[in-house]
Structure formats: structure tokens, C-alpha cells
Amino acid sequence: NGIGFLHVFVGNYAKDGKEWTGDAMRLESMLSSSRCYGGRPSVVTEDGQSISYKKLLKLVGSDNLQVLPIYTGFNPLNCDTIEKMLQTKFMGLTEEQRLKRRAGAGSCKGRRLVTTPFPYYCGLLLCKLSMSEVGLRPGTESDRNRKRKR
């Protein structure tokens, strides 16, 4: 089917000054996979270490990895609804093909309450290579809260 593995995620921070795209979205694509579920990463290296976007890109190459904006706007409810819809759609994939273990819809809340309009995005990380092809595996309880190798 052409899918190695994928990850649907949301974010609301533009580190590089560009709303919804650029460095912030790429970094969030892998950060969010380890923030949910009490620190258990969704994907790890064979030795149990979590992996950053930059390390994943180096491992698989730019021809095999894409991060795409699916939704951009100022409405967190729309963002969460789209996230849940896509995660639900992809739940039929194997655990080796998706980083989320259950459909979210805003289940990983931010740490700060924001009272002004704020940019939100829903993104899709898509890797053409399988986890096993690049030395990765789904995270387990024993991988919880390990330090990331940089």
C-alpha cells in the first residue's frame, strides 16, 4: 500500500515564525509521539531509545519522509476533530504502520491556557519505509521515560 508508517498529530506553536509549517511542524511530528501516554514513546529504536525528527530524517532520507499540513486555523475544536477523524481512519493499519495507539481528538492537551487566538495545525508524518527496514519498533511500557540519544 506504499505506507511504511505514519503519524497524525496536532500542534499550536510556530518556532520558526511561520504559522503551521516549517521547523515547528516537523519537530512536533515526533515530539507528540512521546508526550502522550505518560511518557511512553510510540516509536523507538531497536534498543528502546526515542527518536527525534532530525534523526529519523537522517535515517530514512528526505525522499522517504514527508510532513504535510492537513488543517491550519485558529479553531482548536476543528483541529482536534480532524485529528480524531484521521486517526480513526488509520486505526486499521498495523501498530508498525501507525504511531498512535488510539484515536485522540485533543487527548494530549497543551500545558498553558491561551486566551488570544492562536494558530493550530493538524499534520501528517508519512514515511515510505517500514519501521523494521530502518531499525525502529513500536514503543512499549518498558521504554517509558528513557532519555533520547541526540
Q: How many angstroms separate the CA atoms of 83 and 55, rounded?
A: 25
Is the Cα dihedral 49, 47, 90, 105 positive or negative? Answer: negative
Note the pLDDT of residue 134. 94
pLDDT tens digits, one per residue of 94-118: 888 988 766 565 555 555 555 666 7
Tens of pLDDT, residue by residue over 14-68, are: 555 555 456 778 888 887 655 555 667 788 899 888 888 999 999 999 999 999 9
Q: Residue 113 CB: number of other CB atoms within 10 A?
A: 6
Is it the case that residue 80 has pLDDT exceeding 90?
no
Cα–Cα distance, 61 to 113 (Å, whole number): 37
- Indicate the helix (H) or strand (E) that contains 70: strand 65-73
Query: Which is more confidently placed, 133 or 141?
Result: 133
DSSP string, 81-120: HHHHHHHHHHTTS-TTTBS-SS--SS-S--SS---S---E
Cell of 93: 493499519
Longest dimension (CA), the chain: 44
Cell of 112: 498553558
Residue 31 CB neighbours (<10 A): 17
* Average pLDDT of the segment spanning 2-6: 87
* Owner of C-alpha cell 508526550: 35
